[in-house]
Amino acid sequence: MKIKRWQSLKLLRVVLAQALREGRAPFVLMLVLSIISSVAMYFSLRIPEIATNIAYALFTDPDLDFMQTVMPFLGAVAVIFAFKLVFLAYRLLGVRVYRDLKTKFELGLTRKLAALTWESYETHAVSMKIEMVRRSGAEAYMNLAADFIRYMTESIMYLIFYVIIISRISIWIALAFLGASAIYVVIGSYCGDKVYKTYRDTDALYKRRNYLYRTSRSKEAHQDAIANRLYWHLSKRWRMMNDEWSDATIKAETRVSVYNLIPSILYIFIAVGLLYVVVGEIKAGRQEIGYFTMIITTIMNFQWTLTGFSRMFSWYEWDFNVYKDYLDLMKTEEELPNDESSLPEKFSIRFRDVTYTYPQSEHRALNRLDLAINAGDVLAIVGVNGSGKTTFVNMLMELSKKYEGAILVNDRKTSEALGSLRNSCRCIFQDFIEYQFTIRENVALGDVRRHLTDEEIWEILHVVGMKEFVESLPNGLDTTLGQIKKGVELSKGQWQRLAVARLLANKDARIWILDEPTAYLDPLGEIEMYDFIYSLKGDRTVIFISHRLGFAKRADRIIVFKDGRVIEDGTHKSLMANPDGEYAKMYEKQKQWYE
């Protein structure tokens, strides 16, 4: 959605307030230095005038003292040099201000994203803003807080200097010139919007072209293209898309040239009118010949300033939109602080008539769910995709509290229970993150509330069967994993063992949840992984979630989900005793995988 001018000015005021709040002294100093350094432009305009007057004077009067004549010129050069030193200080300070403002912005954004409710991520409009702000928020904020405000400040200073220079003829001429320039800004702004829209219309084609270009050259795509003989097809498709983009770009450039020509023609009339007046002033002896040279330079610089001033809102429209999304996001509902304690060793959990519907959906993901869990249970949650398994896990971890019914811990509502369900649960998901940190840091992520000693980490690695492998690495626990420089790449199985190591690192976790953690493994690898988990669980409650049933035989209870409800609950033997039951039918279809 296009941001209107008045909205941009309002957002700019908010940006300025935020920048002042997060670093008032350095930010104000940077603006002051920006104003001072822009004064150098005034003297750079005066130098052609002084040089021309000196040359003309020396040419017409050879008896003039050379050093005395050139002293004003040398003085102007010295002043510019001094201002250049100020500009250098401004640039160095700008780097610091940019870094500090960006760091504080990103920290604030990270805290906000961590505090958002689960529903925020499940709501399309909010999730789109989250993605946009996460990707471009810091850049947009810095473009507005540093670049835009600096550029606007300097442009205003330049306009003031131009008016001062022209007012040497007459203040009325200067005001008339300023009025004509205002008309130029309005027309230029309109044309600038058209230019921006023209380029934006080709953006989708450009992104599609670049996506195919990058994808066809990635490591993953290379193997697929070679194996399936796709290189020529992808190259042909890229050429077609490139031609389409090129044609659209040529048409866009033609329109842009027309839009750029309109304000340029207007400016020619303004410039010619000003030069006509200046020549008259010089002929009348009211101005020196050097003034003409300065006016020529002023006219050239003035057009660039006016063009930039008229189009800066178009140039920064994307940043204004992203920053508006950021402000909307900062107003989004946050979660209440969670209890930091864990469940007692003996506990029971009861879902009583729990119903949950996702935002923007009319389908009940959980439909009057009744389910009891006891400490030490090993549960297998099974069912087809969309049956409510993952939603049940999200409710168990207290990711949402906007449900109907009640979730009880030791017969008390979760808000009144001693200990937090969320702090007592640790999970391995299907697409668990392969953190490209050191091995020490990877294991320590299991419990960031305390410091794990190297002895504890080595013991955990021994338990998960990775100690010998890590000991064989030159840097041991300090080995970086992944594709970062000098990183070591792990197999999928090793990454999974490292994920289990993070589970073991948290001694307070009473409940382990494994949501499709073996989706990428073959049936034998899946059984090996589940056997591994069984051997490490101790007295913890373990909840396995999968639509593959090879692991379920060893579970204390098998819970079958369908349409957000529990339709079967029992052991493997008891459920198989009913051949018409959902579990028995599913198992019969899959059992050849495991025989």
Task: Check which CATH number belongs to the domain holding 369 and give it.
Answer: 3.40.50.300
Give the pLDDT of residue 472: 93
- The C-alpha atoms of residue 501 and residue 592 are separated, in whole angstroms, by 32
563 DSSP 8-state letter: T
SS3 labels along 440-470? HHHHHHHHCCCCCCHHHHHHHHHHCCCHHHH
CA dist., res. 463 & res. 590, Å (int): 32
Sign of CA dihedral 109, 110, 114, 119: positive
Token pair belonging to 204: 């989708």
* Residue 575 near residue 558, CB atoms below 8 Å: yes
In the 8-state DSSP scheme, what is residue 360?
T
**Is 453 inside any structural domain?**
no
> Does residue 295 form part of some domain?
no
What is the reported pLDDT for 313?
67
Domain's final residue, options 153, 175, 199: 153
pLDDT in tens, 89-135: 777 777 777 788 888 888 888 888 888 877 787 777 888 888 888 88
Percent of the chain with pLDDT over 90: 14
Note down the domain range covering 419.
348-427+510-593
User: Of 107, 131, 153, which residue sits at a domain end?
Assistant: 153
Cβ atoms < 10 Å from Cβ of 564: 23
Q: Kindly report the CA angle at 326 between 204 and 431, in degrees rounded to 5? A: 70
Beta-bridge partners for 569: 559
Q: Distance (Å, rounded) from C-alpha 567 to C-alpha 383?
A: 10
Residue at which a domain ends, from 153, 184, 218: 153
Q: Token match 């050259």: residue? A: 217
In a domain, 470, yes or no: no
Q: Dig out the tokens for 142 from the structure.
A: 């810095």
Q: How far is residue 181's CA from residue 188's CA, in Å, rounded to a whole number?
A: 10
Q: Chain centroid to CA 267: how far?
A: 41
Per-residue pLDDT, 340: 63
Instruction: Tell whether 13 is covered by a domain.
Output: yes
The confidence score (pLDDT) of residue 560 equals 94
How many separate domains does the chain show?
2
Is 496 inside a domain boundary? no
Predicted confidence at residue 522, as pLDDT, reads: 65
What are the C-alpha distances in Å from 414 to residues 300, 392, 400, 407? 71, 15, 12, 6
- pLDDT given at position 461: 92
- Select from 280, 308, 315, 311 the least CA-distant residue to 295: 280
Helix residue ranges per DSSP H, 116-202: 118-122, 124-142, 149-166, 171-201
pLDDT reported for residue 392: 92
* Span 436-464, pLDDT tens digits: 899 999 999 988 888 889 999 999 999 88
385/273 Cα distance (integer angstroms): 75
Residue 134 resides in a domain: yes
Return the amino acid letter for 505.
A
- The DSSP element (H or E) to which 395 belongs, if any, is helix 389-396
**Rg of the chain over CA atoms, in angstroms?**
35
In a domain, 243, yes or no: no
pLDDT for the residue 557: 94
> How is 294-333 classified by DSSP, letter by letter?
HHHHHHHHHHHHHHHHHHHHHHTHHHHHHHHHHHHHHTS-
Q: Would 473 be classed as within a structural domain? A: no
Q: How far is CA 128 from CA 39, 131, 322, 325, in A?
A: 44, 5, 11, 9
Please list the ranges in the chain whose pLDDT falls under 50: none
> Do residues 432 and 501 touch, judged by C-beta distance below 8 A?
no
